[in-house]
Amino acid sequence: MVQSGLDRWWAGLSAALLHGGSFEFLLIGMVPAVAPLASIAVAAFLVQARHVFHTLSFPLHRVRGRLAKTYSTFALTDEAYALTATEQARGWSSPRLVWLQFFLHLWRRNALLSILAGTAVHVAPASTVFSH
C-alpha cells in the first residue's frame, strides 16, 4: 500500500477492518484514484460475494453453540474453506473447526502487528545507503 502512495496507516486500517485479502488488493487501486464510495462498496460486495458459495458447503452444521456458529460465519475465509473442504476434515469436531478459524483469523490480523512493527523501524532509502 505504501508503494502505491498511501500512508502506512491505510495498511493497518485495512488489516484491522477488512476480512478479504483480495478486496484489499483492489482497494489499493481504488483509494489513490479517489473512487466514489458507492463504487468501492459495490466492488467490495462483488468480490466478497464468493463467500456465499463457501458457506453452502462449509460444515457449519458440525459447529455447536450459537456463539461458535456466529463466529464461524464471520471468520470464514478462503483458507478455512479450503482446509475444511477436504475428505480428512469431514470428521473434525466443533472445537477443532472453531479453533482453526480462530487461528486463521489471528494470523490475518497479525498483518496489523507487522505494519506497526515496520513503522517503528526506520529504514533508510537505498539511495542514501549506497551513495557513500
Per the CB < 8 A criterion, the answer to whether 62 and 41 are in contact is no
CB-based burial of residue 104 (10 Å sphere; 0-12 exposed, 13-18 middle, 19+ buried)? middle
What confidence score (pLDDT) does residue 19 get? 63
| 110-119: average pLDDT | 64
> In whole angstroms, what separates CA 81 from the centre of its chain?
13
| 1-20: average pLDDT | 72
What confidence score (pLDDT) does residue 76 get? 83
Q: Cα(25)–Cα(111) distance, rounded to whole angstroms?
A: 14
Quickly state the pLDDT bin for 80 (edges 50, 70, 90).
confident
| 79-105: average pLDDT | 89
What confidence score (pLDDT) does residue 57 get? 80
Quickly state the pLDDT bin for 113 (edges 50, 70, 90).
low
Q: Cα(13)–Cα(83) distance, rounded to whole angstroms?
A: 27
Q: Which residue has the higher pLDDT, 61 or 12?
A: 61
What confidence score (pLDDT) does residue 127 get? 52
pLDDT tens for 33-53 read: 888 999 988 988 888 888 778
Q: Cα(7)–Cα(29) distance, rounded to whole angstroms?
A: 14
